[in-house]
Amino acid sequence: MKRLWLVFAQTVTVAVGVWFVVATLKPQWLGLRVGATGGSIAVIEAPQTAGSAAPGGSFRHAARKAAPAVVSIITSKAAARNPHANDPWFRFFFGEPDDQPQAGLGSGVIVSPAGYILTNNHVVEGADEIEVVLNDSRRARAKVIGTDPDSDLAVLKVELDRLPVIVLGNSDALQVGDHVLAIGNPFGVGQTVTSGIVSALGRNQLGINTFENFIQTDAAINPGNSGGALVDVDGNLMGINTAIYSRSGGSMGIGFAIPVSTARAVMEGIVRDGRVTRGWIGVEPNELTPELAETFGIAPGQGVIITGVLQNGPAALAGIRPGDVILEVAGQPVGNVSALLSAVAGLKPGESTPFTVQRKDQRLELRVTPGERPRARARAR
DSSP 349: T
All residue ranges of the chain with pLDDT < 70 are 1-2, 19-56, 79-102, 205, 207, 246-251, 375-381
Task: Let me know the angle formed at the C-alpha of 311 by 307 and 312, rounded to the nearest 5 degrees.
Answer: 130
Q: Report all structural domains of the chain as residue ranges with CATH numbers, in order of start.
A: 66-157 (2.40.10.10), 169-273 (2.40.10.10), 279-372 (2.30.42.10)
pLDDT for res 221: 87
Q: How far apart are CA 119 and CA 111, in angstroms?
A: 10
| Selection from 290, 292, 288, 299 nearest residue 326 by Cα | 288
Q: Is 122 a catalytic site residue?
A: yes
Catalytic residue, from 122, 150, 218, 324: name it.
122
Q: How far apart are CA 313 and CA 283, in angstroms?
A: 8
Structure pTM? Answer: 0.70
pLDDT for res 362: 86
Instruction: Compute the Cα dihedral for 256, 259, 262, 265 and give only its sign.
Output: positive
pLDDT for res 46: 53
Q: Is 152 a catalytic site residue?
A: yes
Q: How far apart are CA 41 and CA 38, in angstroms?
A: 8
Catalytic residue, from 72, 107, 226, 342: name it.
226
pLDDT for res 381: 46
| Selection from 121, 133, 113, 136 nearest residue 227 by Cα | 121
Catalytic residue, from 148, 150, 152, 232: name it.
152
Instruction: Compute the Cα dihedral for 290, 291, 292, 296 and give only its sign.
Output: positive
For residue 85, give the 3-state DSSP assignment: coil
Q: In what order do the strands lie in the sheet with 102-110?
A: 139-141, 129-133, 70-77, 102-110, 116-119, 153-157, 143-148
